[in-house]
Homo-oligomer: A and B are copies of this chain.
Amino acid sequence: MMKTLTVTLEDRSYPIYIGSGLLSRTKLLAQHIQNKEVCIVTNTTVSPLYLKKLTASLADNFHCEVVVLPDGEQYKSLTELNQIFDQLLRSQFSRQVTLIALGGGVIGDMTGFAAACYQRGVPFIQIPTTLLSQVDSSVGGKTAVNHALGKNMIGAFYQPECVIADTNTLNTLDDRQLSSGLAEVIKYGLINDFIFFEWLEKNIEKLRSRDENLLAEAIERSCNNKAIIVAKDEREQGVRALLNLGHTFGHAIETGMGYGEVLHGEAIAIGMMMAVDLSLRLRWLSAPDAERIKQLFVAAGLPVEVPSEMSETDFMSLMAVDKKVQDGVIRLVLLKGIGQAVLSDDYGASLLSETLTHYTNHSK
């Protein structure tokens, strides 16, 4: 069974295919490749699992090369990006080459950015193999690499030809990675889908035990939520910023702890709890709702406390380079209820400071 969603962006519109066993469906993939030249980018963890399946389906009809990068957020840098360019140029691949990202969010972000830059832009396809990348990073055209001083600071808005989410790939994901993906799934409920939030409360145990149908439904509902927002605001001039719920705090944790120490979903789960805490202090959110959100994160196997290494000062300096800073003020995504996220800069510095103090007072 396969479900198809569409991200509607004028001449950059594209389909998201969701289903089990899609990796072997050659025609599905091949119809989105414009030319003979294909370069698959993957990592050392994913390649033993799925690379053969993919190359087998392509080998007969395409000149197919592969780049295998090391696995982990710490390798999402300009240095590793250059390895993709090395391979493309060694293969003398032209402006007609199609890049295929086979892996999680790091591979998707890097491959997309490489595609945006190679010869000033070539087509690419997303084949996300983690829950996190299937529900979030593979959809919407945000591509980037990290810089030592800030996450995703170097990148481009660049849309793929299609996204192919094969739910079978989730079977090889470890539990920690699965929970990390669930953080982004829960995020959609918190932002603007209370009904989905309640559905997640009800089904969180079955999702963690990898019920195939429920996972497919969670992916579809997440992608659908994201596709609607991206279609309204491709370049994050407005409503798209809501998708960053928990990310300003979360990116500070990822950068501050060193890339790869804390998984992205874990960092933004903590970040969402910090946004919840600030929303509570603002009396925008009720205490029972805040507790309800915390319980769902805990049930999803996610952390809800800031790592003890992080201080309030760390947060302030790392958050100052967030992409949502405008005129020197950090704009934050906060909650006026479950399913009601708002972008705000009128939270008051003192309440933000209280939240940071509370979360970094590790002796509490």
Contacts from A to B (Cβ < 8 Å): 35-36, 78, 81-82, 85-86, 89-90, 92, 94-96, 116-121, 142, 144, 147, 149-150, 153-157, 235, 320-321, 323, 325-328
Please tell me which one of the listed residues B89, B116, B154 contacts residue A149 in the complex, with CB atoms under 8 A apart. Answer: B89
Given that A89-B321, A120-B142 are contacting pairs, would A96 and B326 also be in contact in the complex, using a CB cutoff of 8 Å? yes
Q: Given A89-B150, A117-B155, A120-B156, 13 other A-B contacts at CB below 8 A?
A: A35-B327, A36-B327, A78-B78, A90-B149, A94-B325, A94-B326, A96-B326, A116-B156, A117-B117, A119-B323, A120-B142, A120-B235, A120-B323
Please tell me which one of the listed residues B89, B117, B326 contacts residue A156 in the complex, with CB atoms under 8 A apart. Answer: B117
Copies of this chain, whole number: 2
Chain B residues whose C-beta falls within 8 Å of the C-beta of A85 in the assembled complex = 147, 153-154
Question: Are B153 and A119 within 8 A (Cβ)?
Answer: yes
Chain B residues whose C-beta falls within 8 Å of the C-beta of A235 in the assembled complex = 120-121
Chain B residues whose C-beta falls within 8 Å of the C-beta of A326 in the assembled complex = 94-96
Question: Are B118 and A154 within 8 A (Cβ)?
Answer: yes
Complex CA distance for A233 and B138, rounded to whole angstroms: 30
Task: Say how far A79's CB is from chain B's closest CB, in angstroms.
Answer: 8
Complex CA distance for A156 and B121, rounded to whole angstroms: 7
Chain B residues whose C-beta falls within 8 Å of the C-beta of A323 in the assembled complex = 94-95, 119-120
Chain B residues whose C-beta falls within 8 Å of the C-beta of A149 in the assembled complex = 86, 89-90
Complex CA distance for A120 and B144, rounded to whole angstroms: 8
Complex CA distance for A119 and B36, rounded to whole angstroms: 33
Complex CA distance for A117 and B149, rounded to whole angstroms: 15
Please tell me which one of the listed residues B82, B119, B120, B154 contacts residue A117 in the complex, with CB atoms under 8 A apart. Answer: B154
Closest B residue to A116 by CB, please name it: B156
Task: Say how far A139's CB is from chain B's closest CB, in angstroms.
Answer: 16
Chain B residues whose C-beta falls within 8 Å of the C-beta of A121 in the assembled complex = 156-157, 235
Task: Say how far A186's CB is from chain B's closest CB, in angstroms.
Answer: 25
Given that A89-B150, A147-B85, A321-B89 are contacting pairs, would A155 and B120 also be in contact in the complex, using a CB cutoff of 8 Å? yes
Complex CA distance for A155 and B95, rounded to whole angstroms: 12
Complex CA distance for A116 and B144, rounded to whole angstroms: 12
8 residue pairs of the A-B complex, CB under 8 angstroms, read: A78-B81, A78-B82, A89-B321, A94-B321, A95-B323, A95-B326, A117-B117, A117-B154
Chain B residues whose C-beta falls within 8 Å of the C-beta of A86 in the assembled complex = 147, 149
Closest B residue to A143 by CB, please name it: B120
Please tell me which one of the listed residues B89, B144, B156, B157 contacts residue A153 in the complex, with CB atoms under 8 A apart. Answer: B89
Complex CA distance for A150 and B85, rounded to whole angstroms: 10
Task: Say how far A310's CB is from chain B's closest CB, in angstroms.
Answer: 19
Closest B residue to A84 by CB, please name it: B154
Chain B residues whose C-beta falls within 8 Å of the C-beta of A118 in the assembled complex = 153-154
Complex CA distance for A202 and B8, rounded to whole angstroms: 56
Chain B residues whose C-beta falls within 8 Å of the C-beta of A327 in the assembled complex = 35-36, 96
Complex CA distance for A95 and B155, rounded to whole angstroms: 12
8 closest A-B pairs (Cβ-Cβ)? A89-B149, A94-B325, A120-B155, A92-B320, A119-B323, A117-B154, A92-B321, A78-B78
Complex CA distance for A118 and B119, rounded to whole angstroms: 19
Closest B residue to A317 by CB, please name it: B92
Closest B residue to A114 by CB, please name it: B154
